[in-house]
Amino acid sequence: MTAIYVIAALVLVLFLYGAYRMMGAGATVEEDPRAVLVAVLGTATEAAEVLDGTPGTGDEASSPHAVRRRLDGCAQALERIAGIPVDATLDEARTVLELAVDELSWSARLAEAPGYARDNALRDAGTSLRSRGSANLERARAQLDG
């Protein structure tokens, strides 16, 4: 009788372990902070160019909402590596990239506003945020290249 309980308990433990692994909670992925920072830098640079109107395609992918979503993904990537210890140069690059992504994201939010095209103050604020975000992207690029 005891053997049945032991077997049932083992089956239950194996089932729970399998369910835990299938949900991904037990999966750990080692991320290279430098690679994540370089990827975020590239995506944020593209987003800044779209916000500045450089591509000018006018398609859905260059809408302020789509750009803001890409920048939200950048912010999430930076959060994933926030707890990983890195050297001082990478830490400064991460901090500057966080600022740049935040500034560009706010610029995209402003561009989404219905009155953005008609309001000079909103456009000036968006331009200022984009220029500060672009300056921070250049600082991050210098940290990652150097």
- Provide the percentage of residues in the chain whose pLDDT is more than 90: 58
Identity of the amino acid at 103: E
Q: Mean pLDDT across the stretch 128-133?
A: 96
Residue 55 to residue 92: CA distance in whole angstroms = 30
Total of domains in the chain: 2
Tokens 């089956």 locate to 11
Residue 109 above 90 pLDDT? yes
Query: 23 and 38 share a domain?
Result: no
Do 97 and 82 fall within a single domain?
yes
Domain around 1: 1-30
**Alpha-carbon 53 to chain mean position:** 21
SS (H, E, C) 63-108: CHHHHHHHHHHHHHHHHHCCCCCCCHHHHHHHHHHHHHHHHHHHHH
- What confidence score (pLDDT) does residue 93 get? 94
Q: What average pLDDT score do residues 77-105 get?
A: 93
